[in-house]
Amino acid sequence: MADGGFTKLPGGSVVVALTLPRPLGEGGVRVLVHAVNRQRALTRLRNLGLRAVYLRGNSAPPTPDEVTAVLHHPDGLVWRTAPYGVGELWHPIAALLRPPAAA
Protein backbone atom coordinates (compact mmCIF):
# COMPACT_ATOMS: atom_id res chain seq x y z
CA MET A 1 0.00 0.00 0.00
CA ALA A 2 2.67 2.51 0.97
CA ASP A 3 5.98 3.55 -0.46
CA GLY A 4 8.49 3.53 2.33
CA GLY A 5 11.41 2.02 4.12
CA PHE A 6 13.32 1.91 7.36
CA THR A 7 16.71 2.59 8.89
CA LYS A 8 18.11 0.67 11.82
CA LEU A 9 19.89 2.93 14.30
CA PRO A 10 23.08 2.03 16.21
CA GLY A 11 21.11 1.62 19.46
CA GLY A 12 18.91 -1.06 17.88
CA SER A 13 15.77 1.04 17.34
CA VAL A 14 14.43 1.89 13.89
CA VAL A 15 13.02 4.85 12.01
CA VAL A 16 10.27 3.92 9.56
CA ALA A 17 9.26 6.28 6.76
CA LEU A 18 6.03 5.82 4.79
CA THR A 19 4.36 7.84 2.06
CA LEU A 20 0.61 7.50 2.54
CA PRO A 21 -2.57 9.05 1.14
CA ARG A 22 -3.67 11.92 3.36
CA PRO A 23 -6.43 10.59 5.66
CA LEU A 24 -8.54 13.76 5.84
CA GLY A 25 -7.79 15.46 2.55
CA GLU A 26 -6.17 15.25 -0.85
CA GLY A 27 -2.60 14.37 -1.71
CA GLY A 28 -0.07 12.37 0.20
CA VAL A 29 1.99 12.65 3.34
CA ARG A 30 5.39 11.37 4.40
CA VAL A 31 5.12 9.92 7.91
CA LEU A 32 8.14 9.14 10.10
CA VAL A 33 7.98 6.88 13.16
CA HIS A 34 10.71 6.10 15.68
CA ALA A 35 10.16 2.80 17.51
CA VAL A 36 11.86 -0.23 19.00
CA ASN A 37 11.25 -2.26 15.81
CA ARG A 38 9.37 -2.09 12.49
CA GLN A 39 6.34 -3.94 13.79
CA ARG A 40 5.99 -1.55 16.74
CA ALA A 41 6.26 1.45 14.40
CA LEU A 42 3.43 0.15 12.22
CA THR A 43 1.36 -0.67 15.31
CA ARG A 44 1.74 2.93 16.51
CA LEU A 45 0.27 4.15 13.20
CA ARG A 46 -2.54 1.59 13.22
CA ASN A 47 -3.48 2.59 16.77
CA LEU A 48 -3.93 6.16 15.52
CA GLY A 49 -6.52 5.01 12.98
CA LEU A 50 -4.29 4.46 9.94
CA ARG A 51 -5.41 0.85 9.63
CA ALA A 52 -4.17 -0.18 6.18
CA VAL A 53 -0.49 0.59 6.79
CA TYR A 54 2.05 -1.95 5.58
CA LEU A 55 5.77 -1.81 4.85
CA ARG A 56 6.87 -4.02 2.01
CA GLY A 57 10.51 -3.70 1.14
CA ASN A 58 12.84 -0.79 1.66
CA SER A 59 12.31 1.24 -1.51
CA ALA A 60 12.23 4.69 0.16
CA PRO A 61 14.14 4.62 3.46
CA PRO A 62 14.30 7.78 5.57
CA THR A 63 17.01 10.27 4.69
CA PRO A 64 19.50 11.40 7.35
CA ASP A 65 17.55 14.69 7.67
CA GLU A 66 14.31 12.78 8.23
CA VAL A 67 15.94 10.59 10.89
CA THR A 68 17.19 13.70 12.68
CA ALA A 69 13.73 15.30 12.53
CA VAL A 70 11.91 12.35 14.09
CA LEU A 71 14.58 11.75 16.74
CA HIS A 72 14.30 15.35 17.92
CA HIS A 73 10.51 15.27 18.21
CA PRO A 74 9.20 14.31 21.67
CA ASP A 75 6.56 11.91 20.28
CA GLY A 76 8.87 10.31 17.72
CA LEU A 77 6.07 10.58 15.15
CA VAL A 78 5.95 13.39 12.55
CA TRP A 79 4.65 14.09 9.03
CA ARG A 80 4.73 16.58 6.15
CA THR A 81 3.15 16.70 2.71
CA ALA A 82 4.64 14.57 -0.04
CA PRO A 83 6.21 15.67 -2.23
CA TYR A 84 7.12 18.40 0.22
CA GLY A 85 7.64 22.02 -0.63
CA VAL A 86 10.80 23.92 0.08
CA GLY A 87 10.84 25.15 3.66
CA GLU A 88 7.96 23.02 4.90
CA LEU A 89 8.49 21.97 8.48
CA TRP A 90 7.58 18.66 10.11
CA HIS A 91 4.25 18.53 11.93
CA PRO A 92 3.14 16.46 14.94
CA ILE A 93 0.88 13.56 14.01
CA ALA A 94 -2.11 15.11 15.81
CA ALA A 95 -2.21 17.86 13.17
CA LEU A 96 -2.66 15.24 10.43
CA LEU A 97 -5.54 13.44 12.09
CA ARG A 98 -7.45 16.59 13.06
CA PRO A 99 -10.41 17.51 10.79
CA PRO A 100 -9.70 20.49 8.53
CA ALA A 101 -10.86 23.89 9.83
CA ALA A 102 -14.17 25.14 8.43
CA ALA A 103 -13.83 27.90 5.86
Sequence-separated (6 or more) residues with CB below 8 Å from residue 103: none
The model's pTM is 0.84
- Model pLDDT for residues 34-69, shown as the tens digit of each residue: 999 999 999 998 998 887 788 888 999 999 999 999
- The whole-angstrom separation of Cα 78 and Cα 102 is 24
Q: What is the mean pLDDT of the chain?
A: 85
pLDDT of residue 23: 64
| Strand-pair partners of 32 | 17, 78
- The whole-angstrom separation of Cα 10 and Cα 39 is 18
CA 14 to each of CA 44, 49, 76, 91: distance values in angstroms, whole numbers, following the listed order: 13, 21, 11, 20
